[in-house]
Chains A and B, each alone.
Chain A
Amino acid sequence: MSNPFDDPDEGSSGMLLLRDDAEILEGFLCPICKADLKTPERLTAHVEQQHSEEQDLLKSLREMFSFAKKKILNLDETASELARNLDSSLGQGEVAVRNPRLERYATETNKLIIRLDKLLDGLPSDPDARKRHEQSKVPWIDGKLVKLCPSCAKGFGLTRRQHHCRVCGSVMCDGCSFHLSFDEARSIVQPEMSSKDRDSSGFRVCEHCLHLLMNRKEMQDSRSDRPPVTKLYEKLLQEKREITPDIPMYEKIIGSLYEGDAIYRLSDASALREKIGRAAERIDNISKAILALPFPQGSREESLKKSIRLSCIAYIKEQMLSTPPLPAEDEIKKIQARKKQETARRIERERRLALEAYERYELQSESYATNGSSSSSTASTAEMTNGRFYPAPATGTDQWSGFQTATVNVSASADPLIDQINIVKGYIRQAREAMRFEEVETLERNLSELTQEFYERQRRNAQEGGGPVRN
């Protein structure tokens, strides 16, 4: 064998070695003892230790790996050149600062809410009783200790009375206190219950507590609040998501139709086009519905809905309606007919060749005719193969229908291959009805592989049948 790879003195050791028995070895092989070392580093080390006398080999090995490495890294670089704009995420630092702070707020807010709950529980309507109830739940700061209002720093007196925050018990003046209605208080404590209370009065609270409580309320609200525009928008997204894979699929089908392939039919394309069209209509309608939502004139929501509508129009125009029109049926037929003719010609040629070959067999078998009677049956199988099973598998399903009945009747219907073919065909029908065209494609390929296999086998059978005759 004159294989340059297995000559260690050449120094071109490496990835692929052919041994004398022609078994192909792959991997990082040592050119001397042919052991697979798995990695270039280990190979280099191995050669260094075991075959230290082969200095030039070691050198060439190193050179080769550094070259390959360079090559790979280079490729890597060109591929990632545009993706090189990685940015450093600072999120971690932000979270680290934010979390302890948020936790502190959260515990404080929770404490306030628990107190609020207690305050609301069994609240008497009589002002005096209520005051007692409030004081019993939250200890009030002694007013005598506070000379000035903590927020506005003005002294208390006859005109500026002291007031207590009902939630934390601190003291402030009237101007610095705020009002939390019972309604709001209840909705903070129990977000899911929104009872309409006739009582319009509420608690007096300080700014700090109000801020914390309202913050909490807002977070709850924004979590549960779902205005109609978001619902419509989600529908819109859903529609878009569903239709997105269909558009390139449609283009693919059209392309394959113009190629004259028989994987897809014209009806597939038109069904898909219709589906896209219907989806476009639905998207159009949803965006119109969004546009029709009543928003105040000149508000940002109004410009939002206009933008959504605009983007939908652009999407429909550019993505959905710009799809190529359906090819005319007769055009496709012409293409297919041409292709069919081509295949027919090929089949004809093959058949002729096969016939010639068969005739040669015939001559041979005639000369041996006395030796065995099996030849006639072989011949008939061969003829059958030539005559019926020759159609090229890619010509499409039309021929196959004829073939199928023939095989079922004539040859062994117990052949698992035929069963398989029938099953696959059933699947294709189902997939087509459900418009899962990707599946149709893979199944069609499967089918053509199966038929190819079937045909090959038939031919082999025929030849094997003829074979023994010769011997």
Chain B
Amino acid sequence: MNVIRAVQLYLEKMISEAGPGMKMLMMDRETTSIVSMAFAQSEMLQKEVYLFERIDSGRSNERLKYLKCIVFIRPTRDNILRLQSELKSPKYGSYYINFSNIIPRTDIKSLAESDESESVREVKEVYADYLPVNPNLFSLNIPMCLQALSWSPDALERSVQGIISMLLSFKLRPAIRYKGSSSVAQTLAKKIHETINKETALFSFRPPEDGSPPPLLLILDRRDDPITPLLNQWTYQAMVHELLTINKQRVDLSGVQGVPKDLKEIVLSSEQDEFYAGNLYANFGEIATTIKVMMDEFQKKAHDQKKIESINDMKNFVETYPQFKKMSGTVTKHLVLISELSLQVGKQQLFEISELEQEIACRADHSTQLQRVKKLVSDEKINLHNALRLILLYSMRYERHANCGTSGLLKALQDRGGRAHIVPKMLEYISTSARQELFNTVKITDAVKLTRNLIKGLKGVENVYTQHNCVLKEVLEEVIKGRPLDAAYPIMGNELPFRRPPQEVVVFVVGGTTYEEALAVHRYNQEGCKVILGGTTIHNSDSFIEEIVAATAGIPFKHSRSLQQFHSAPHGEA
């Protein structure tokens, strides 16, 4: 189960079905990103796709009848109308139409009626309606999916479509489990269940061999684990996302000093960049070593390149130059990235912050932690964003603590000009179950969990910067070991729950997933499980805070009345 490969296969098929000859690809805004995640433009050129056009913007009226037009669009109302008008006066010789999801019959009919000049050769559904990020990770690129803590209708529809296409592309007809205490998870699970039952013809795959359990779709809610996106991560991909932000495989380095002109925006694709693919999940220490090795190798090659004395050397140079050039591109790119990362780590004192973050997330020690947070928040060297993150973590952990010092911390933050109003919003955002389970504030009734926590405590910590385990990891462990989940994660519909672990698992996090969770999934996959992770988006702490602000806009304050003075945002900020 590799989502990138799946999308690539779809595209390859789409292109090969149009046959040889000059081709152009017509896309919409979203499918453009989907295609760009799977193939680089140069790869598309090799497949004889020479022109790219957006159906929804920047159309020209040039007629190029000798081109074959491959259409790959989402089956939205607007797109159908645009395609209809295109077909009424076709600009290209023939059309191969591919919809990225299930398309209603009526729309097909209206398309057929517009095709007066018989230019449509084929109409198909290909189920590539999601952004493949890593082989095991997909995103739907919905940055804000909640309004007043429930689904915004558009985001819900898009999520249903995305998950349905994901299931179809791997031919999964899953049992659906969702976090029982989360209403958004339940709504989504219900919608997906309905769609699957409506499209029985599409979902009629060969049932799993006798006795083996069906695949599992597990729907989680970000509100149950608000900690993970706030923590500093130390693996390569996660760090780049946290410190520099990856947006659809692209990293904007224009704000970074001393970057060569051609590296203002770099592409990080695990498909095209071997080094990146091999080090997605490597931690910061490892990656520094790896890049050193790569540097040495490169320098050796560069040295070889320099000594051109004989004709033979020259011939060798010409022959190995393309590889050399490619390698030098990769080396420079990652060198720039890593040096920027380590610069930021030093400047923002991330080691110190990360250690405290992990302490707060994993251990209860109120007075010491409060002291340390206080010290860091008032430290001018710590930037406001990091100070806010520490206070957020602290305020969630010690919300009910008798000597809770949140308001004092917020004052200090406000004095420095920080966004103190985020904290009450966060306290409204997190769910009841997060309150109860995340920090064990409730009396522990679950004996198994208690012992496990004890054992964890006794074993000691391997790495202070990576002690925290995301909720997803714990749930996945239950799933993969086949432990009963019924109480907290009820099953949708009246399907009988299977006691044995499912062979394929798709996890979807409403409210966005993180690269830390992708790492957890990656580890399970290395052990031979088949798990795919998806989310409405992929968060770093910045985008997560934005999502919280959007999700809690306009709701009354219930849990944070004591922080009333910080409720409203300062002027000039929403």
Contacts and interface: CB of A to CB of B under 8 A. Distances in A.
Interface in B525-554: none
Given A84-B171, A93-B108, A322-B322, A230 B22 contact: yes
Interface string B86-118: 000000010000000001010011011101111
Contacts of A322: 319, 322-323
A150 to B, nearest CB: 21
Given A93-B108, A218-B117, 5 more contacts: A89-B123, A94-B123, A299-B60, A303-B51, A325-B319
25 contacts: A73-B209, A82-B5, A85-B6, A85-B10, A85-B13, A87-B10, A87-B126, A87-B127, A88-B125, A90-B103, A93-B123, A94-B108, A97-B109, A98-B115, A102-B116, A219-B118, A222-B65, A300-B64, A301-B62, A301-B64, A304-B51, A315-B46, A318-B322, A325-B316, A325-B319
Interface in B22-40: 22, 24
B5 A93 contact: no
Interface of B: 1-2, 5-6, 9-10, 13, 20-22, 24, 42, 45-46, 48, 50-51, 60, 62, 64-67, 93, 103, 105, 108-109, 111-113, 115-118, 120, 122-127, 169-171, 202, 209, 315-316, 319, 322-323
A65 interface: no
Q: DSSP class of B's interface residues: helix, strand, loop or mixed?
A: mixed
Interface stretch (A173-181, A305-313, A444-452): A305-313
Contact of A97 (B42, B62, B112, B322): B112
Given A82-B5, A317-B322, A308 B108 contact: no
Given A85-B6, A98-B120, A226-B66, A311 B50 contact: yes
Interface in A77-97: 81-85, 87-91, 93-95, 97
A293 interface: no
A102 B169 CA distance: 34
A23 B103 CA distance: 61
B51 A307 contact: yes
Contacts of B169: 84-85
Interface of A: 70, 73, 81-85, 87-91, 93-95, 97-98, 101-102, 105, 215, 218-219, 221-222, 225-227, 229-230, 233, 237, 299-301, 303-304, 307-308, 310-311, 314-315, 317-318, 321-322, 325
A94 B50 contact: no
A101 B113 contact: yes
Nearest to A212: B116
Contact of B112 (A94, A237, A314, A321): A94
A227 B62 CA distance: 14
A84 B209 CA distance: 17
A284 to B, nearest CB: 15
Contacts of B65: 221-222, 225
A445 to B, nearest CB: 32
Nearest to A325: B319
B18 to A, nearest CB: 13
A299 B51 CA distance: 12
Contacts of A304: 22, 24, 50-51, 64, 67
Nearest to B45: A311
A218 B319 CA distance: 50
A227 B13 CA distance: 28
B116 A89 contact: no
A230 B1 CA distance: 40
A304 B63 CA distance: 13
Contacts of A233: 21-22
Contacts of A301: 62, 64
In the A-B complex, the 10 residue pairs with the closest CB atoms? A311-B45, A97-B112, A307-B50, A98-B112, A222-B65, A94-B123, A230-B66, A90-B123, A87-B126, A300-B62
A308 B46 contact: no
B563 to A, nearest CB: 51
A226 B66 CA distance: 7
A219 to B, nearest CB: 5
Contacts of B22: 229-230, 233, 304, 308
A314 B46 contact: yes
B122 A89 contact: yes
Contact of B60 (A88, A226, A300, A325): A300
A105 B108 contact: no
A366 to B, nearest CB: 64
A221 B65 CA distance: 9
A394 to B, nearest CB: 32
B374 to A, nearest CB: 55
A301 B22 CA distance: 12
A236 to B, nearest CB: 10
A103 to B, nearest CB: 11
Contacts of A222: 65, 93
Nearest to B7: A85
Contacts of A73: 209
Contact of B117 (A91, A219, A317): A219
Contacts of B9: 82-83, 85
A89 B124 contact: yes
Contacts of B10: 85, 87
A85 B93 CA distance: 28
A142 to B, nearest CB: 31
A221 B63 CA distance: 12
A303 B51 CA distance: 7
